[in-house]
Amino acid sequence: MMPEVRPDEITAILRRQLSGYEREVDIYDVGTVLQVGDGIARVYGLQKVMASELIEFPNGVFGMALNLEEDNVGCILFGDDTLVREGDEVRRTGRVMSMPVGESMLGRVINPLGQPIDGKGPIETKAFLPLERKALGVIYRQPVREPLITGLKAIDSMIPIGRGQRELIIGDRQTGKTAIAVDAIISQKYTHTETAKRRGIKPVYCIYVAIGQKASTVAQVVAKLEEHGAMEYTTVVAASASDPSPMQYIAPYSGCTLGEFFRDSGRDALVIYDDLSKHAWAYRQVSLLLRRPPGREAYPGDVFYLHSRLLERASKLSDDLGGGSLTALPIIETQAGDVSAYIPTNVISITDGQIYLEPGLFNSGVRPAINVGISVSRVGGNAQIRAMRKVAGRLRLDLAQFRALEAFIKFGSDLDKTTQAQIRRGQRLVEILKQKQYVPMPVENQVALIFGGTNGYLDELPVESIDRYMTEFLEMMEVKHRDILDKIADTKDIDGETERALHAITKEFVESFKVTINSRES
């Protein structure tokens, strides 16, 4: 016989069961792929999508919304577009494009999404920052005053770069643009030493962004950085020529975001974009595929804004925000030395100066092949230590006069004595500024060498012996007068006593060097 169940008991049981029920509904804003190909997808739906929002496609492919049109959304794909088909369902993620940041990125090679591509395992990071960030306003910045030593005599003496500056490196292919950038990274190794810390020099963390280069070229750069111990404080962001153009398009923004992580935590960072010509090509390709109207040289109308919003993010923060800095060295490749083309003129107008490399100088053995006449740093002497300002003050003028008179060298003895003296001085200064690759020089050594050149001590030495003179002079300074070099490095200045000592040492060494080379010749 079944027990009787009263209605009020049933009601109580149902009420108890229903009170613990929670309805969970996942709501997604979804769309449908209308068309896909060449790294671009057109999606119907996604009514409330944001500009630059991350979009999730099937098979683990992600994209970013770029074109927000009336009836569809144009997306760029960061992955294999063959895995996406017409009719596939896509979802909004609700977050803008961002990348992982952190100290664990140092020493690694990553793609623009922050994923490691060096085979050294996953990277553990806790923070994410958006790829696109508004550049800080004037009130949050301070003037650029602290030097960023590149270790290259020609740059540190005449075209000084400050921490927080944007200095363009421009020139034809195969003129040594990447070499200057790599030397600048290797030179920052000194900033991570105890000696630099004692002298009040903050360490500089480096980000090298390779855009549209051959993977083998990027591998060579990484190998060179590892060989010189520079990968310990460097991250390489690589979007090689075989990567889709959307990856090449976002690569500089990824590098900049990582640099901002260091800057915003009160540290100094250096980011190199190699190169922005290929970046503009990638953006042009993406824009044309998205059916955006072409302008001059088929670039879209906002190609200036493409680079200005990137380079404006480099800055020296005010002390209230920690005093960190982000220095940018963008690289532009010219065609047959034409700096008046669209992209070169754009980037020249955005940056705080440019280092122009000339094929003629490069082929004649002047390396780095910097044309001093049209290279400039708009920060100028503010980004130099006082010692360098004192010794290099006449350097640019002497070289400019030499370049103007160079055409008359073939007349030889027909020239007056003043002109001959200027040519003699210029030839030796050109030799002093030559430098081998991957051998950055400490700033105190640069000061000691340039001091001898600008004060005329080398005017009577044969031009072909200057290279040997520099090697032997620096060896002598290291062994016998290290105290003077240390004093210049510590005080960042040359006082009267140091100047008198340098005059005496240089004069004595030049006299003994003359005797040495004369005895060898005889």
Give the active site residues: 378
| Beta-strand pair 268-274/89-96 | unpaired
| Beta-strand pair 40-45/73-78 | antiparallel
Q: At what angle do helices 496-521 and 466-480 cross, to 10 degrees?
A: 130
Q: Are 36 and 81 in contact (CB under 8 A)?
A: yes
Q: What is the DSSP string of 184-222?
A: HHHHGGGGGSHHHHHTTPPPEEEEEEEES--HHHHHHHH
Q: What is the DSSP string of 78-121?
A: ES-GGG--TT-EEEEEEEE-EEEESGGGTT-EE-TTS-B-SSS-
Q: How many CB atoms lie within 10 A of CB 164?
A: 28
Q: Are 78 and 61 in contact (CB under 8 A)?
A: yes
The partner residues of 268 in beta bridges, in order of sequence, read 204, 325
Interatomic CA distance for residues 401 and 397, integer angstroms: 6
Residue 431 CA from chain centroid, whole number: 27
- The pair of three-digit structure tokens given for residue 427, joined into one six-digit string: 């030839």
Q: How many CB atoms lie within 10 A of CB 299?
A: 20
The partner residues of 171 in beta bridges, in order of sequence, read 333, 357
Backbone angle region of 48, left / alpha / beta, with phi > 0 → left and psi within -120 to 50 → alpha: alpha
